[in-house]
C-alpha cells in the first residue's frame, strides 16, 4: 500500500540531520491546528536571496503573482471571470495576463496562484483532456474534469502546485456546474458561486450579497462583473481590468471590462 516515506528528505547530504527531525514531531491531535506537514525546524534563510516583502514578514506564495477568480451559476448558463494583472510581488509586469482557459466549448478552467504553476498545470490538463478525447471520442464532462484536476493536485500532496483552480462548465442537459479546490485538490462543489485568489475574502463578501439564484445571462454578467471589480479594487495584487466569459448552451460571450488601472 505504499512504502514508508520521509516526506522531509532533503536532497543535500549536509542537511541529512534535518531529515531525522520529523521523528520528533509531537503527536498531531485531530481537529486542532495542524502544521502543513513540514519540518518544525526553521529552514536556514539565505538573507541575500530572500523573497521579501517590504514589510519584512514572510510572504505567502499565493501572493507572489496576485489573482482574482469568480465563477457563478445562472439559469442554464454560467459565468467565469478573472482579473488581468500579472505581477512580481508589488511590481506589475503585464496587464493582459490570461487566467481563464477554455478546455472545450462548454468547460472553462481558471487558475489562480503562482502563475508558473498555473501554466504548467494547464498544459498537463490539456494534454490529459486531449488523450481523453482521442480515446472516448467526446469531450470530458465537468464533473469528470474536476475529479481529474483533484487527482493531479493530490498526487503532489507533499510538494504541491501553488494553484487554486476554479472549474466551470455545462454538464448533462446543459446544467451548469462550478467547483473550486485548494492547492491539494479538496473539491468544493457549490450551487451558487465559487471564488479564488488573493482577493478571495472580498470576493466572498461581494458575491454573498450580490448573488441571486436563477439569473439570466445578461444579469449574471452584470452581477459577476460588479462583484469582481468591487473586490479587486480593495486588493493591491489584482485588478487592471477584468475578463468575463458568460456561457450558455448556444454561445460563449467573452468580454473585457474596464476597471481601475492601479
Partner 1 sequence: MSKATIDLPPKGGFSFDLCRRNDMLSKKGVRPPSYRKTGTTIVGIIFQDGVILGADTRATEGPIVCDKNCEKIHYMAPNIYCCGAGTAADTEAVTDMVSSQLQLHRYHTGRESRVVTALTFLKRHLFNYQGHVQAALVLGGVDFTGPHLHTIYPHGSTDTLPFATMGSGSLAAMSVFESKYREGLTKDEGINLVSEAICAGIFNDLGSGSNVDICVITKGHKEYLRNHLLPNADVYALKREYTFPKKTEVLLTKITPLRAKVKIIEGGDAMEE
Whether residue 142 contacts residue 175, with contact meaning beta carbons closer than 8 Å, is answered with no
Q: Which of residues 208-227 bind partner 1 (CB under 8 A)?
A: 209-210, 212, 221-223, 225-226
User: Per rule CB under 8 A, is residue 148 in the interface with partner 1?
Assistant: no
Whether residue 242 contacts residue 84, with contact meaning beta carbons closer than 8 Å, is answered with yes
Whether residue 240 contacts residue 86, with contact meaning beta carbons closer than 8 Å, is answered with no
- The angle formed by the CA atoms of residues 234, 240 and 242, to the nearest 5 degrees, is 95
Q: Output DSSP code: residue 82.
A: E
Q: Exactly one of 17, 31, 55, 91 binds partner 1 (CB under 8 A); which one?
A: 31
Q: Exactly one of 96, 136, 216, 254 binds partner 1 (CB under 8 A); which one?
A: 254
CB nearer to partner 1: pick between 86 and 229? 229
CB nearer to partner 1: pick between 38 and 175? 38
Using a 10 angstrom Cβ sphere, with 0-12 exposed, 13-18 middle and 19 or more buried, the burial of residue 159 is exposed
Element (H, E) at 88: strand 86-88
User: Per rule CB under 8 A, is residue 202 in the interface with partner 1?
Assistant: no
Binding mask 51-70 for partner 1 (x = CB under 8 A): xx-----xxxxx-x------
User: Per rule CB under 8 A, is residue 260 in the interface with partner 1?
Assistant: no
Using the rule CB under 8 A, give the single segment among 40-48, 65-73, 91-99, 232-240 that binds partner 1.
40-48
- The angle formed by the CA atoms of residues 217, 222 and 226, to the nearest 5 degrees, is 145
Using the rule CB under 8 A, give the single segment among 70-78, 93-101, 156-164, 232-240 that binds partner 1.
156-164
Beta bridge mates, 168: 108, 178
Using the rule CB under 8 A, give the single segment among 67-75, 92-100, 123-131, 232-240 that binds partner 1.
123-131
CB nearer to partner 1: pick between 5 and 134? 5
User: Per rule CB under 8 A, is residue 16 in the interface with partner 1?
Assistant: no
Name the packing angle between helices 200-210 and 217-232 (round to 10°). 140
CB nearer to partner 1: pick between 64 and 86? 64
CB of 18 to partner 1, least distance (A): 10
Work out whether the CA dihedral 239, 240, 241, 243 comes out positive or negative: negative
User: Per rule CB under 8 A, is residue 130 in the interface with partner 1?
Assistant: no
d(CA 90, CA 132): 40
CB nearer to partner 1: pick between 160 and 176? 160
**All cell numbers assigned to 70:** 469568480
Task: State the number of binding residues for partner 1 (CB under 8 A).
Answer: 83
User: Per rule CB under 8 A, is residue 46 in the interface with partner 1?
Assistant: yes
CB of 25 to partner 1, least distance (A): 7
User: Per rule CB under 8 A, is residue 36 in the interface with partner 1?
Assistant: yes
Q: Residue 82 — left, alpha, or beta (φ > 0 → left; ψ -120 to 50 → alpha)?
A: beta
User: Per rule CB under 8 A, is residue 175 in the interface with partner 1?
Assistant: no
The bridge status of strand 100-104 relative to strand 187-190 is unpaired
SS3 assignment, position 236: coil
Amino acid at each position: 500500500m505504499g512504502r514508508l516515506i520521509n516526506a522531509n528528505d532533503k536532497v543535500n547530504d549536509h542537511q541529512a540531520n534535518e531529515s531525522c527531525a520529523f521523528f520528533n514531531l509531537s503527536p498531531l491531535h485531530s481537529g486542532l491546528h495542524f502544521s502543513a506537514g513540514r519540518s518544525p525546524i526553521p529552514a536556514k534563510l539565505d538573507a541575500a536571496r530572500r523573497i521579501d516583502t517590504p514589510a519584512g514578514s514572510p510572504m505567502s506564495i499565493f501572493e507572489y503573482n496576485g489573482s482574482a477568480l469568480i465563477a457563478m451559476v445562472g439559469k442554464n448558463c454560467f459565468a467565469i471571470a478573472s482579473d488581468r494583472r500579472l505581477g512580481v510581488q508589488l511590481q506589475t509586469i503585464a496587464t493582459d495576463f490570461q487566467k481563464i482557459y477554455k478546455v472545450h466549448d462548454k468547460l472553462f478552467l481558471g487558475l489562480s496562484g503562482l502563475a508558473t504553476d498555473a501554466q504548467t498545470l494547464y498544459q498537463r490538463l490539456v494534454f490529459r483532456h486531449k488523450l481523453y478525447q482521442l480515446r472516448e471520442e467526446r469531450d470530458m464532462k465537468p464533473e469528470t474534469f474536476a475529479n481529474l484536476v483533484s487527482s493531479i493536485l493530490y498526487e503532489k500532496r507533499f510538494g504541491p502546485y501553488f494553484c487554486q483552480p476554479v472549474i466551470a462548465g455545462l454538464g448533462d442537459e446543459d446544467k451548469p456546474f462550478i467547483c473550486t479546490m485548494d492547492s491539494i485538490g479538496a473539491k468544493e462543489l457549490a450551487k451558487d458561486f465559487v471564488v479564488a485568489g488573493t482577493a478571495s475574502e472580498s470576493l466572498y463578501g461581494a458575491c454573498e450579497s450580490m448573488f441571486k439564484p436563477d439569473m439570466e445571462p445578461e444579469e449574471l454578467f452584470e452581477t459577476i462583473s460588479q462583484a469582481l471589480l468591487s473586490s479587486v479594487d480593495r486588493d493591491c495584487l489584482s485588478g487592471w481590468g477584468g475578463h468575463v466569459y458568460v456561457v450558455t448552451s448556444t454561445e460563449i460571450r467573452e468580454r473585457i471590462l474596464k476597471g481601475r488601472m492601479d
